Chains A and B, each alone.
Chain A
Amino acid sequence: MQIVAKGLTYVYNPKSPFATQALKGVDLTIEEGEFFGIIGHTGSGKSTFVQHLNALVRLTGGQLRVGEYDLSEKKCKLLELRSKVGMVFQYPEYQLFAETVYKDVAFGLKNFRKGISEEEMQAAVREALAVVGLSYDEVAERSPFELSGGQRRRVAIAGVIVTKPEVLILDEPAAGLDPLGKKELMDLLHSIHGQWCKTIVIVSHDMDEIAENCTRAAVFSEGKVALCGTPQEIFAQGERLAAMGLDVPVTAKCAQILQRHGFSVRTDFTCTDFVQKVLALYRGEGGGAEDAQ
């Protein structure tokens, strides 16, 4: 499903002293099959934007089309849309509620596919748990509150992907995880991408995460899309990012330091590529070295 937003605006608490304009005209297109990153400061409107995508925040200004659904129409089929656009909120492990993992994961299925048979449901839950790396036989009948934090987050993600949404949106999916946990989670998302969910959108302010994982990204600033393109295109503009109070990935910082010393490294800012390019430079193979200025 292609996502097209044109001139999206949104105001929280309109007509009160607390009124804040969260979106001031967002134009953005996310193609099917992308692993899309959304970057921005707190209050840049990124969360408000992604919540528009499955109509958790109803459209009030501008146009938004998600696949065949036109969200400016009053009679948009909300339930159908939400089954196709899955949303994993920040710290999703705090939204678990059922007495067993099985019931919690099946919650979405029961809501979206009324009258689904018990066998079908069991098969779907088993599959979803397997995708997130949990064993059905081990965890299905346990209480979600007995599990560890990382396992709980996996259960919560399973509860969203169990309906096989075409688009999966994750708000800061790696927040609060240690580096290893982060890597495991990103690997998990890559394994979901393509087979389970065609499009993945992650909201993050970890630039390394974006540089490593995303095919394309957009930078939100003050309710607008300030930059949009591949991570290479975005992180090449380190100064503009700095002006918006945003960081660049570690690799970009290193590249800047090398640049200052007269070495130009053409990298896509992923770790492996950067190390390879620097090694090539060191061995004098890549031909990327320029004379010191």
Chain B
Amino acid sequence: MLNDVTFGQYYPTKSFVHNMDPRAKLLLLIAYIVAIFIANNFFGLILVTFSLLLFILLARVPFGRVLRSIKMILFLIIFTAILNLLFYAGGEGDIVLAEWWIITISWQSIINTIFLAMRLLLLVLGTAILTLTTTPVALTDGIESLLKPLKYIKVPVHELALVMSIALRFIPTLMEETNRIVSAQKARGANFETGGIFRRAKAMIPVLIPLLVSAFRRAEDLGDAMDARCYSGAKGRTKYKKLTFTWRDLLGVLFFAAFIAGIVLLNTYFGSRFDIIWQFREWFGI
């Protein structure tokens, strides 16, 4: 049951995107997210979608694998979409289709809902590309390197990165442990598959308590092991793998600069996402 959790699982293969510097990938992801949020109309989002597809192709990760990352948050997307559809209130110019109690459905809310769902989907898929093509270690190295300037205002960047890499490193371990405890309790007749949501939540107690206990035990062991090897923080540490910025990264940055410029252009040229309503009315005479 837990093998479904594939969000962020590294997909080992060789590709253009895999070989990029993690720092460049992180910056591109930030640029990508910014692009999603400054895009004001559907043309902008379509451009974003095309760039996403381009990166999926360049990353040589099977398409289904990328799509699977949505599974985890599909519920969230549907939930926010429904809320948005029912409760969106744009104001004056809304063309109301149905109204009941505090619920209003208008053309504007429909358009907005589709827009929002697209944004969320693109967001998750983009992030998935990063985590599918970058190992957790490379990722934290990248984050540490990017956050370096914060050292000057006494932020313990190295320690934060270490905390993060330890957390990431223990995900598979704890996952395996969970599977084992689940099996052990199943062997004693525990039932996780049927019953309502409360019964299922209650059924998880025999799994969560041993898991928590063992997580603490592991944390203590790790602390001892680090002490035993005289770990004392960032001072005087050097890196085994140095990050280098290559032509690939330059290409990526240039591409994204052009991409953002394209979105800004589309924004100013086509105006608001709601213009499509007037356009439709003109075409179909609704």
Task: Tell me which of A83-91, A119-127, A229-237 binds B.
Answer: A83-91
Task: Select A17's contact among B3, B12, B190, B213, beta carbons within 8 Å.
Answer: B12
Contact check, B191 vs A111: say whether CB atoms are below 8 A apart.
yes
B205 to chain A, nearest CB (A): 7
- Whether A117 sits at the interface, judged by CB under 8 Å, is no
- Whether A82 sits at the interface, judged by CB under 8 Å, is yes
Chain B residues positioned under 8 Å from A112 (CB to CB)? 189
Instruction: Indicate whether A111 sits within 8 Å of B213 (C-beta atoms), given known contacts A13-B3, A17-B11, A97-B206.
Output: no
Chain B residues positioned under 8 Å from A92 (CB to CB)? 184
What is the interface size of chain A, counting residues whose CB is below 8 A from a CB of the partner? Answer: 27
- Whether A160 sits at the interface, judged by CB under 8 Å, is yes
Q: Kindly state the separation between the CA atoms of A96 and B208 in the bound complex, as whole angstroms.
A: 11
Task: Select A107's contact among B3, B12, B183, B188, beta carbons within 8 Å.
Answer: B188
Chain A residues positioned under 8 Å from B205 (CB to CB)? 97
Contact check, A111 vs B188: say whether CB atoms are below 8 A apart.
yes
What is the interface size of chain B, counting residues whose CB is below 8 A from a CB of the partner? Answer: 22
Q: Which of A87, A95, A97, A108 has the most CB of B within 10 A?
A: A95
Chain A residues positioned under 8 Å from B209 (CB to CB)? 97
The chain A residue with its CB closest to the CB of B188 is A108
Chain A residues positioned under 8 Å from B272 (CB to CB)? none
Q: Kindly state the separation between the CA atoms of A79 and B186 in the bound complex, as whole angstroms.
A: 9
Contact check, B188 vs A160: say whether CB atoms are below 8 A apart.
yes
B30 to chain A, nearest CB (A): 29
A144-172: which have CB < 8 Å to B? 145, 159-160, 163
- Whether B13 sits at the interface, judged by CB under 8 Å, is yes
Q: Kindly state the separation between the CA atoms of A82 and B206 in the bound complex, as whole angstroms.
A: 17
A169 to chain B, nearest CB (A): 9
Chain A residues positioned under 8 Å from B174 (CB to CB)? none
- Whether A221 sits at the interface, judged by CB under 8 Å, is no
20 interchain pairs, CB-CB under 8 A: A13-B3, A56-B186, A79-B189, A82-B187, A82-B189, A87-B184, A89-B180, A89-B183, A89-B184, A89-B187, A90-B180, A95-B184, A97-B210, A98-B206, A107-B185, A107-B188, A110-B189, A111-B190, A112-B189, A159-B188
Q: Using a CB–CB distance below 8 Å, which chain B residues touch chain A?
A: 3, 11-13, 180-181, 183-191, 205-207, 209-210, 213-214
Starting from the known contacts A17-B12, A82-B189, A89-B180, 13 additional A-B residue pairs (CB-CB under 8 Å) come to A13-B3, A51-B183, A56-B186, A82-B186, A87-B183, A89-B187, A90-B180, A97-B205, A97-B206, A97-B207, A107-B206, A111-B190, A160-B187
5 closest A-B pairs by beta carbon, nearest first, are A111-B189, A108-B188, A87-B187, A97-B209, A95-B184
